[in-house]
Amino acid sequence: MKIKETAYWVDELHLSEGDRNFSYESKPYNFDSSLLTNKVKYHQVKTDPLFYPPLPKQDYYNLETCTAETFDAWYWNLLSNNMGYYNEAVQRSNTAFLKEIVGDEDIIILSDLDEILDSRFADRIIDEVKKHQIVTVKLHFSVFYLNLFADRNHGAPDFSYRTFIMTGRYFKRMPFTADYLRKKGTSAGLLNTVHCIDDYMGFHHSWMQHTTNAFSKLKAFEANVQDKGLIRDDFAANAVRDKRLSYLNANLEVDNERPFLRGVLATNTEGMWYEE
């Protein structure tokens, strides 16, 4: 879906994948090489020299203590004392190769794989970036199914300050990593320094194909999670049944009227729509 949506307006899409998950367990490379094109670039990361195994005693992400006021002390303490989050930071910040190929006037998008900008807003997004040098956007937040939306998220509202769009000039001179930028944004620490475009400009489609993938995703993040009771094979089924994400205190609501992405509608999404 992301490849199809970015094809409408993005010159190059760079995808990075490690051979271990964040909990330091070995995993195969899952990317389908048949999807490679002259626009789609794929980077395999050998994580042995980069990732650390989990510590016997770790600190954990705490929504109450991750605030804008305390962010820097919180962030560096977390990365020093939780190897799952350290490994995530290494993976997300694997962008050095881009600095060698981008020009000052290029537009760079930093986002996770499941965060997809709406190509129909391309001109407006580019205009806003040229005006502000760096911007973020609001994203519709769907969970488990494309049309099942969470009514809240943690941190900055409307799933903003996760995806960032910037000029090549800003990107090459950015004095912090992509992971720091994202986590400080999530903590609402950039509300006064990075412009957020007023309208929703894309979707965060999370936990898709949950019946086959949710448990493996949970296991991948096990080192990051303090409450191991969440690591259950029925986690997703219970959340869908109750229409609730308990770890976010969020309710899930069906909405078939949102302007779904062209790349989504051009993809085989059988079984990925919630039917009441």
Residue pair 61/89 in contact by the 8 Å Cβ criterion? no
16: left (phi over 0), alpha (psi -120 to 50) or beta: beta
Q: How would you classify the pairing of strands 164-167 and 134-143?
A: antiparallel
User: Is 273 domain-assigned?
Assistant: no
The total number of residues shown for the chain amounts to 276
Does residue 14 fall inside a structural domain?
yes
User: What is the rounded average pLDDT of the residues 264-275?
Assistant: 95
112 occurs within a structural domain: yes
Nearest CA-CA partner of 183 in 85, 57, 52, 83: 85
Residue of 194, 196, 198, 202 lying closest to 121 (CA atoms):
202
pLDDT at 223: 67
Beta bridge partners of 115: 204
String of b and e for 56-94 (b: at least 16 CB within 10 Å)? eebbebeeeebeeeebeebbeebbeebbbbbbbbbbbbb
> 41-53 pLDDT, tens per residue?
999 999 999 999 9
User: Looking at residue 111, what is its pLDDT?
Assistant: 97
Q: Taking residues 4-13, what's their average pLDDT?
A: 97
Name beta bridge partners: 269.
Answer: none
Q: Is residue 225 part of a domain?
A: yes
Model pLDDT, residue 62: 75
Q: What is the mean pLDDT of residues 223-252?
A: 84
Total domains in the fold of the chain: 1
Nearest Cα neighbor of 235 from 222, 153, 223 is 222
For residue 275, is pLDDT > 80? yes
- pLDDT score of 258: 96
Residue 272 in any domain: the answer is no
Is 274 inside a domain boundary? no
In a domain, residue 47? The reply is yes
User: From CA 216, how far away is CA 240, in angstroms rounded?
Assistant: 17
Residue from 189, 181, 192, 113 nearest 155 by CA: 189
pLDDT tens for residues 160-191? Answer: 999 999 999 999 999 999 999 999 999 999 99
Range of the domain at 218: 2-265
- Residue 123 resides in a domain: yes
- List b or e across 234-268, with b for residues whose CB sees 16 or more CB atoms inside 10 angstroms: ebbeebbeebbbeeeebebeeeeeeebbbbbeebe
